[in-house]
Structures are given as structure tokens and as C-alpha cells.
A and B are shown apart, each in its own frame.
Chain A
Amino acid sequence: GAVVSQHPSRVICKSGTSVKIECRSLDFQATTMFWYRQFPKQSLMLMATSNEGSKATYEQGVEKDKFLINHASLTLSTLTVTSAHPEDSSFYICSARDPGMVWSPLHFGNGTRLTVT
């Protein structure tokens, strides 16, 4: 089945630094990837839709300059949390659909737990 790989799985960084999270589709080309944020015991909140070769589409309330998304190739999207603060600590998850299928479920990465100290 289609696999989405997310890296790193855990990262701890100091306040004010930037952190980059990678999301790769391993056996299909993903023109679109999705980034979510999840707080403990809560649901996933869609942050943005990453589009290969064009600007990402951000959901209302998500700061574009804070959460930089780059989708430079058909298999890689990155989310950079800039000038991280403790309130950015969360679980970030990416997903993608396989465009080669008539209908594809969302394939998720295993998530990145970010802790900002």
C-alpha cells in the first residue's frame, strides 16, 4: 500500500529557533499534501494544503509566515515552524492521497512530536 514517511518523529528545540519537518510519499507522486496539527486527546486540525509547484493554501487562523510550507517536488513537502515558541509544541501530521487511484484514502505519516522549551 501507499506509504507516507514523516521525519523526524520527535524533535525538541529551544524557543526562537526554527524546525523543519519533512513529509515524503514513498511509492506515489503526491501533487497535494496536507498538514495537520493535533493537541493531546483532540482531533486533527487541518493547517494547510501543500501544492506541488505553487503556494500552499492555509486554513483560516494559521499564520503563513509562522508555518512555512514548501512542496518543491512530487514526493516531498516540508513544514518549517519558524521562531518556535512553547505554544507551538504539538503533534504535527502530514497526509497525501494517491492521485493514481480513482479514489484514495488519506495516507498519513506517523507524525512529528514537537516540543519547544
Chain B
Amino acid sequence: SQQGEEDPQALSIQEGENATMNCSYKTSINNLQWYRQNSGRGLVHLILIRSNEREKHSGRLRVTLDTSKKSSSLLITASRAADTASYFCALDKLIFGTGTRLQVFP
């Protein structure tokens, strides 16, 4: 399967804590994207990292990419209850990872 594998599958943290989720994949990629999905809704694009980049920031989001290990991580710093959602990595050929369900408790 070319699908990205994410871990953990589920993550529960307190508000203010950091949340880290990881995505591993098997194929070569041009870029990797992270999306967020609120329950019962469509996905929203968060951030893209290209294969020649190692780290990227956007607000409270920090994404890393290690092409040698074929893995990426998404870090959400100082989490808020509103960050509660499922997060998916997506490979450049419209293939989505298995997702991490994040629950942030106030």
C-alpha cells in the first residue's frame, strides 16, 4: 500500500501541551501535506513541505520531513481545545495517511 501510516492513531492531551503526530510512507515523494478534518466535515489544508525541505513553520504548527527515513512529523504547540480534530498526512499523489485523532481537553 502506498498509504501513509500515522501514529499515534489517537492522542489525548491537556490544553497548553504540545501534540506530535508522525507519518511514515514507502514511496518517493515530491511533497507531503498535512490536512485537518473536524468531525463530519471536509478536510482543510494546513501546510505543505517539499522533498528538499527539512522543516517548516506556520503559526503554532511545525512540520519536519526526513526523506531518508521516509517520515514526517506535525507538531502543534500550545494546543487549544479548538485543535481537536483528525489530522492526516497526504502524499503528493492524493493518498492520505491513516490519520491521528487528536483530543485536546480544556
Contacts and interface: CB of A to CB of B under 8 A. Distances in A.
B43 A44 contact: yes
Nearest to A4: B42
Nearest to A106: B45
Nearest to A109: B42
Interface in B75-106: 88, 90, 94-99, 101
B41 A43 contact: no
Interface in A101-117: 103, 105-111, 113
A103 B45 CA distance: 13
State the majority secondary structure of interface residues on A: strand
B3 interface: yes
* A: interface residue count bin: 20 to 34
A34 interface: yes
A91 B97 contact: no
A111 to B, nearest CB: 5
B3 A6 contact: no
Contacts of B33: 105-106
A92 B104 CA distance: 26
A43 B3 contact: yes
Interface in B41-55: 41-45, 48
A6 B88 CA distance: 21
A46 B94 contact: yes
Contacts of B44: 108
A85 B14 CA distance: 42
Contacts of A50: none
A93 interface: yes
Q: Which A-B residue pairs are the 5 nearest by beta carbons? A: A108-B42, A105-B45, A108-B43, A110-B42, A44-B96
Given A42-B99, A93-B43, A110-B41, 10 more contacts: A42-B98, A43-B88, A43-B98, A91-B40, A103-B48, A105-B45, A105-B48, A106-B43, A106-B94, A110-B42
